[in-house]
Amino acid sequence: MWAIIEIKNTNKRAKILTNEPLSCYCIMAKIDIRSLTLASLKEQLTEMGEKPFRAKQIYQWLWQKTAHSFEEMTNLSLQLRAKLAEKYVINAVKVAKKQQSNDGTIKSGFELYDGHLVEGVLIPADDRMTACVSSQVGCSLACKFCATGFLARKRNLTGAEIFDQVVHIDQQAQANFNRPLSNIVYMGMGEPLLNYKGVLESVDRLTAPNGLNLSPKRITVSTAGIAKMIKRLADDETKFNLALSLHAANDKKRNEIMAINETNSLEVLAEALRYYYKKLRRRVTYEYIAFNHFNDSLQDAKELVRFCRIVPCKVNIIEYNSVAGVSFIKSEEDRLAIFQQYLLDHDIMATVRRSRGKDIDAACGQLANKEVEKVD
């Protein structure tokens, strides 16, 4: 006689309380249905004795109607819904905490199925509604100026978990501002290119006609500089925008604040960027946080201009947002103005990005799962 022990999530360990040897047990783990491709789902439904067209209906519920339970799939029979619930699970992301800034920015603490938390941000502006989403639980890069860098990396997010963040933030945009999202940036917790599979799966579901059908031109993936993965983006002919967190255009300074530069130097990055542009012919964005009297001098501007000659680009100069335990402070306004003007005078498109959500630790570099208001 075999005993069946059900495990609701394949990614969780089961604690089995029994006096019998484990060899006597058949452990049945439920599969997250959103990990299946449409073709795989068709195959599994056929094995269950169902018509293959049901897979398309289920996919529509999952990725267009963003259903988080089988009970919501009302055009499926009760019998089929019961069969799905017996074999599969939907590891949906929940909004566990949220906080709203004086400037309208909304930060959410998203709870994953295994109890981990990540943060995402809705950034409202007159001309756009932007969702900033996380790709990892924590981060392994330990950039000296970033709050997330002080957190250990626990795991990568699945494509569905990134997708869910966008769905929740879009709902917040429509509920609070009566406008849908216009832009998505992968600039939250984690290094997106170290979760290449999950990030590309999420972009696919967000942009696919049988997903949310969003424009890839409205999506930007940011990296601290993983050269081989930048090349892979080119080889895979990705359609979204690429941003490089640069923050210094000489190796000595970049090494001081970004350990990744020791293995992905500016020369190595330059070669990857040339490869990327040659293949895709798409302009790159450089993110450049201005730290007072560290990387905001005229000499720093000159070095940045030289780096900007590598491929067509634009520069977003970002106000630094204070992080507890970090000695950096934001650049003074006059130094920032001179720095920007030097870039403009040398035909570099350069915009100063003012921080949003600083009062709730939701601004660039501040995401660290601090305690915020719980959501019932």
Residue 364 annotated as catalytic:
yes
For the chain, give the number of residues: 376
Q: Are 300 and 256 in contact (CB under 8 A)?
A: no
Of 321, 364, 319, 371, nearest to 189 by C-alpha is 364
The beta strands (E) that lie in the chain are given as 3-7, 25-29, 31-32, 88-89, 94-100, 106-111, 117-124, 129-132, 136-137, 155-156, 183-186, 219-223, 241-245, 284-290, 313-319, 349-353
**Tokens matching residue 239:** 């359609």
Which residue in this structure is represented by tokens 């170290």? 194
Q: Across-strand partners of 244? A: 223, 286
Residue 110 structure tokens: 């998203």
Q: Backbone phi, then psi, for 318, in 5-degree steps?
A: -110, 135
State the burial class of residue 44 (Cβ atoms within 10 Å of its Cβ: 0-12, 13-18, 19+): middle
Report the alpha-carbon distance of residue 133 to residue 170 in Å, rounded: 12
Catalytic residue among 119, 191, 287, 319: 119
Closest CA to 185 of 34, 287, 281: 287
Sheet holding 94-100, edge to edge: 94-100, 106-111, 117-124, 129-132, 183-186, 219-223, 241-245, 284-290, 313-319, 349-353
| Cα separation, 174 vs 238, whole angstroms | 29
Catalytic (active-site) positions: 119, 364
